[in-house]
Amino acid sequence: MKARMAAALGVVALIVSAALYAEDKNPLEGVKCIIQTTKPAKADKSVDYKGGKVYFCCANCPKSFDPAKHSTKANHQLVATGQAKQAKCPLTGKDVDTTTKISVAGADVCFCCNNCKGAVEKLKGDEQIAKVFSDAAFEKAGYKVGKKE
């Protein structure tokens, strides 16, 4: 009886510690400021954008944020932080095939076919980001911004 009670308490402790660990995980881990792109974004330095939040490294960067000028990087960050959910292919607007998923600068993206996937894989760095996260591609992909689940 005591052994069962000890085992049950051990399981409860394991569940509680796992839950606490999950809460401590930084949702911005690996996410960079969209103005100073080499510096990490911070949760307390943000502005509202398209129904979500865009994060920066310091108090000065939000002042420099211009949605028209920085929309591609802001769109990318919305996807990378899990705030924006993709519905369609960003190149064609067709339904996505989840087997075509790739990471574009830390943000997972799916395409309608391997041709679209290949077209993006051929590009590098900012060219990839521009192709997949420009305002036109963001709209075509039907991204919906909402609370992170």
Task: Tell me: pLDDT of 112 over 50.
Answer: yes
d(C-alpha 83, C-alpha 51), whole Å: 9
Is the distance from CB of 99 to CB of 113 less than 8 angstroms? no
**Percent of the chain whose predicted confidence (pLDDT) is above 70:** 80
pLDDT tens track for 44-66? 999 999 999 999 999 999 999 99
CA-to-CA distance for 60 and 32, rounded, in angstroms?
15
- At 7-22, the pLDDT tens digits run 545 444 445 444 444 4
Greater confidence (101 vs 3) lies with 101
Structure confidence at residue 146 as a pLDDT band (50, 70, 90): confident
The pLDDT, as a whole number, for residue 28 is: 87
Q: What is the pLDDT of residue 109?
A: 98
CA–CA distance, 42 with 68 (Å, rounded to integer): 22
Q: Of 104, 103, 102, 141, whose CA–CA distance to 125 is shortest? A: 104
